[in-house]
Structure 1
Amino acid sequence: MSEDSTAEGTAEEVTLGRIETEVALLMRLGEATRRATGTAEHRVLDRAAYVILRHLDSAGPQNVSALAARLNLDGSTVTRQVSAMQRDGLIARAPDPSDGRGTVVSPTPAGLQRMAAVRAARTRLYGDILADWAPADRDTLADLLHRLNEALETRTRTRR
């Protein structure tokens, strides 16, 4: 192994270590920022309900199995979350038209309203946090985060 390839390997490992650290900090600080934000809009939905409602809003009604698969969660976990959300009036269940024995879940108007409020509050929050960033830098960040999420999702799906 040449000295150059050793240095490249080391530089690559350093870069990957920096990425790992920054992603870990992003997750921790993102949650801490959400909890510390003074407005009630951020707290009208827990994180799981927000993610489920966002997905149902974009993908349409689904059965719990499809929802769990799409969100990379255990079916029993999603069933518990969906039951709590139904009790809170955030989602509704209806017979599955493709399987008479099953049900599909869809967001209620109240669920969509809460989701929209949280989304708007989060958008304003990130607008404040990134106010000093150039628009091109914000676009680049959005593109890179999207690519990272796609890569993570692809890896998760191939590992099942």
Structure 2
Amino acid sequence: MSDDQRTGADDQATLGRIETEVALLMRLGEATRRATGTAEHRVLDRAAYVILRHLDAAGPQNVSALATQLNLDGSTVTRQVSALQRDGLITRGPDPADGRGTVVSPTAAGLQRMAAVRAARTRLYGDILGDWDAEDRDTLARLLRRLNEELSARNRRR
């Protein structure tokens, strides 16, 4: 086997390990959230949490822009936004850029629930990663962000 073939085989093996670990991360992350005993983890479902986190960071948006940013179908986001509005976690208001449209914004109650979930998740990961040194935690955070940025960029190109 040539060096190029060996390098190619090593790369494929590494990519296979990454695929396996990401699949496990997604499964175990959701299983951990469901199994955690504190109610704070369950005051919002995953979709509501992601929408509220995005609105908190990016500000009011129309549903179309929200769907684009979250890489979701517009009808999916419309259903989720309707449920959040029914629960008093977001409001709809006129779009300042287009008087015919509307934008959604988080309510104080929505932000409070999102902050509670975020704090609970932060504590959970603090417990899970408690034996890791600060450099390893920082490296993990940096590499996960890089992976998420690459995934997001790829989804935007499609």
TM-score (norm 1): 0.97
Structure 2: state its 5+ residue gaps: none
Q: Which residue of 2 aligns with 1:135?
A: 134
1:69-115 deviations in Å (ceiling 9; x for gaps): 00000000000000000000000000111111111000000000000
Q: Within 5 Å, which residues of 2 pair with 1:1-160?
A: 3-159=2-158
Deviation at 1:3, TM superposition (A): 1.0
- Counterpart of 1:120, as a letter, is A
CA distance in 1, matches of 2:129, 2:113: 24
SS at match of 1:45: coil
- Counterpart of 2:142, as a letter, is D
Deviation at 1:123, TM superposition (A): 0.0
CA distance in 2, matches of 1:20, 1:114: 33
CA distance in 2, matches of 1:58, 1:97: 18
Aligned residues: 158
CA distance in 1, matches of 2:96, 2:154: 32
1:40-87 deviations in Å (ceiling 9; x for gaps): 000000000000000000100000000000000000000000000000
- Counterpart of 2:59, as a letter, is G
CA distance in 2, matches of 1:111, 1:31: 21
- Counterpart of 2:148, as a letter, is N
CA distance in 1, matches of 2:49, 2:113: 9
Q: Could you list the structure 1 runs, at least 4 aligned residues long, displaced by more than 4 angstroms after superposition.
A: none
- Counterpart of 2:43, as a letter, is V
User: Bigger shift: 96-105 or 60-69?
Assistant: 96-105
CA distance in 2, matches of 1:154, 1:72: 10
Identity of aligned pairs, percent?
A: 81
